[in-house]
Homo-oligomer: A and B are copies of this chain.
């Protein structure tokens, strides 16, 4: 029932990659079919490489580029035999072209899949809040993907952005305390006050603290969307652009 092996450009951060794998497993178990066993679950080959340079500094021009790391990882996964690639890190998609250039293995964009899921699940939505880190927001990844659909994206700015970044760095240190959860909720609520009717968890660290149902508006978990789509592609659905 599984036809393709997914290659995962991971480790950005490692906890977010583990969260992604856990969500793939849930969707895989849910699509085993009657009488399904462990052997029917989806195969993933995962390069969890935390050494990839900080995406935020790279987009800001103050740090080294992740591009050569991502290209090497993509080629390694190709040699290991994967059929398509995913990358459970939103900000790293600012360097997605380096992955596409490194290997002919099809690359499934987290940003494109999240936007497609948003449009399907929330038809008519006009303004969404995107919990995006500096690199993702500065590269306008969601803004550019949402604009053709006439959807406006609001992201944390100024002091709110700094508070959001501090919370993301805390998660990356393993901090999932009540204080971090409240900080994350505060940032999301500020975007809701700016008119967002849906919040996109546009950083794969966010769902380590917040789940859909924790806010006054629906939250679209980009990690979970990518996991669901990874299972669909592994089960044989036509890959994007093919």
CA distance A50 to B26 in the complex (A): 14
1/0 per residue A1-35: CB within 8 Å of B? 01000000001011101100110011011000000
Residues 171-206 of A contacting B (Cβ, < 8 Å): 172-174
Give the residue of B22, B43, B76 whose beta carbon is less than 8 angstroms from that of A11. B43
User: A51 is contacted by which of B2, B51, B53 (Cβ under 8 Å)?
Assistant: B2
CB of B43 within 8 A of CB of A49, answer yes
How many A residues, CB 8 Å from partner?
Answer: 39
This chain: copies in complex = 2
Residues of B within 8 A of A17 (CB): 21
Q: Is A138 an interface residue (CB 8 A)?
A: no
Q: Is A41 an interface residue (CB 8 A)?
A: yes
- A87 lies within 8 A of chain B by Cβ: no
Question: Does A242 interact with chain B (Cβ within 8 Å)?
Answer: no
A19 vs chain B, min Cβ distance (A): 9
Contact of A29 among B11, B52, B173 (CB under 8 A): B173
The answer on a CB contact under 8 Å between B50 and A41 is yes
Cα-based distance from A142 to B43 in the complex (angstroms): 29
Q: Which residues from B are CB-within-8-Å of A38?
A: 13-14, 50, 172
Q: Is A46 an interface residue (CB 8 A)?
A: yes
If A29-B173, A43-B49, A80-B45 touch, whether A14 touches B18 (CB-CB below 8 Å) is: no
A-B contact pairs, 20 of them (CB 8 A): A2-B51, A11-B41, A14-B41, A17-B21, A18-B18, A38-B50, A39-B51, A39-B53, A41-B50, A43-B49, A43-B50, A44-B46, A45-B45, A45-B46, A45-B47, A45-B76, A46-B48, A47-B80, A76-B80, A77-B80
Residue ranges of A at the interface with B (Cβ–Cβ < 8 Å): 2, 11, 13-15, 17-18, 21-22, 25-26, 28-29, 37-54, 76-77, 79-81, 172-174
